[in-house]
Structure 1
Amino acid sequence: MASKLLIITVFVFDLIAFGLAVAAEQRRSTAKIANDPEKNYNYCVYDSDIATGYGVGAFLFLMISQVFIMVASRCFCCGKPLSPGGSRACAVILFVTCWVFFFIAEVCLLAGSVRNAYHTKYRTFWGEDPPSCETVRKGVFAAGAAFTLFTAIVSEFFYINYSKARESFQPYGGEAGLGMGNFK
C-alpha cells in the first residue's frame, strides 16, 4: 500500500516548487537603458533580482520531492522484486517519464535562475549602439513550472503503481525440483 503521508508530503513539496516557479516567471528581471550625462555613456539598470531566489527555491523543492519518491521506491532497482503485470509495466514507464520530466524541469529552473542573476556591465558612449541589456527570456521559468507540474503528477502515479506491484509480489514457496515418487 502506498504511504499516504509520503504522497501528501511529496505533493506539498511539488506544489511549493510549482508556485515558486510561477512566481519566478512573474518577477523576472527587466532592464532599461540609462545614461550618465557627466561621463557621456549609456548603461543598463536592472530591477529586483527576486526571481533568482524563487527559481533556486523551486529547484530545491522539486529535487527534495524527487529524492523522497526515489528513496521510498528504492530508486526502482533495489529491494524485493515486483510482481509481473500491468502495475509493474506502468511503473517502469512512469519511472522513465518521471526522470525525463524532472531533468527538463531542473534544467529550466537552474538555467533561468543563472540567466536571471546575470547582469551585463557594458557601457557605450553616446552616439554608439545602445548596450545589450540581457535578461532571461520570457517563458523559461514557465516551462520549468509546467515540467514541475508534469513531474509531480507522474511521480505520484509512479509511486502508486510501484507500491501496487511491490505489494502483490508473492514469491514461489514450493519445491523447485521434481519429486521422485514411487515409480514402479
Structure 2
Amino acid sequence: MASKVVMIIVLVLDLIAFGLAVAAEHRRSTGVSKPDSEINYNYCVYDSDIATGYGVGAFLFLMASQILIMVTTKCFCCGEPLKPGGSRAFAVLLFVICWVTFFIAEVCLLAGSVRNAYHTKYRTNFFENPPSCETVRKGVFAAGAAFIFFTAVISEFFYYSYSRAQGRFGPYRGEAGVGMAAYK
C-alpha cells in the first residue's frame, strides 16, 4: 500500500515549489530607461532580482519531489512486475502525464529564471530610441506554478495507483481438489 510518509513529503515539496513559483511571478524584475548624469545616454535600471532565486528554488523543490516519487516507484521500469488490471493501466497513464507536466513546469521555471536574470547592458544615444529594457513576460512563472500544481496532483495519484497495482505473482495457495463436505 502507498506510504503516507512519502505522499506527505511529496505534497510538502510540491507546495513549497508552488509557493515559490507564485512568489516569483509577483516579484518579477522590471526595467526602466534612465538618462545618465551627463544626459548623453540612456541605460536600463532594473529593480529587485529576487524572482530568479524564487524560480530556481521552485525548480529544485519540484525536481526533488519528482526524484523522490521515481526512486520510490523505481521509475516504473525496475523492480517487480505489477498486477494486471485497472490500477496498472491507470498508473502507466499517470506516469506518462506526470513526466509531461513535470517537464513543462521545469522548462517554464528555468526559462523564467534565466530570462529574469538577464539584464540589458547596452546604452543608446539620448536622441535615439531608448534601450529595450527587456524582462520576463508576465505569466511565465504563473504557468510554471500551474504545471507544478498539475504535477503534484498527478504524481500523488500515480503513486497511489502504482502502490495499488503492486503485488506478487505466486502459486495458487488454495486447495488443488474440489472441496466436498462430509455427507451423512
Q: TM-score, normalised by structure 2?
A: 0.92
1:50-69 equivalences under 5 Å are 50-69=50-69
Structure 1 residue aligned with 2:70: 70
Amino acid at match of 2:57: G
Amino acid at match of 2:154: V
Query: For residues 161 and 18 of structure 1, what CA distance do their matches in structure 2 show?
Result: 23
Query: For residues 124 and 138 of structure 1, what CA distance do their matches in structure 2 show?
Result: 26
Structure 2 residue aligned with 1:182: none
Structure 1 residue aligned with 2:129: 129
Determine whether 1:30 maps to 2:30.
Answer: yes
> 1:121-165 CA distances to partner (integer Å, 9 max, x unpaired)?
110111101101010000000000000000000000000000000
1:101-116 equivalences under 5 Å are 101-116=101-116
Amino acid at match of 2:46: Y
Structure 2 residue aligned with 1:97: 97
Structure 2 residue aligned with 1:171: 169
Q: Structure 1: 5+ residue runs without aligned partners?
A: 175-184
Structure 2 residue aligned with 1:179: none
Query: For residues 152 and 35 of structure 1, what CA distance do their matches in structure 2 show?
Result: 47
For the Cα contact (< 8 Å) 1:122–1:132, is it kept in 2?
Answer: no
Q: TM-score, normalised by structure 1?
A: 0.92
Q: Structure 2: 5+ residue runs without aligned partners?
A: 173-184
The Cα shift of 1:39 comes to 5.3
User: Pairwise CA RMSD of aligned residues?
Assistant: 0.9
Structure 2 residue aligned with 1:143: 143
The Cα shift of 1:72 comes to 0.4
Structure 1 residue aligned with 2:49: 49
Q: Secondary structure at the residue paired with 1:32?
A: strand
Query: For residues 52 and 2 of structure 2, what CA distance do their matches in structure 1 show?
Result: 35
Structure 2 residue aligned with 1:88: 88
Point out 4+ residue stretches in structure 1 off by more than 3 angstroms: none
Amino acid at match of 2:125: F
Matched residue count: 172
Query: For residues 36 and 68 of structure 1, what CA distance do their matches in structure 2 show?
Result: 51
For the Cα contact (< 8 Å) 2:91–2:162, is it kept in 1?
Answer: yes
The Cα shift of 1:44 comes to 0.3
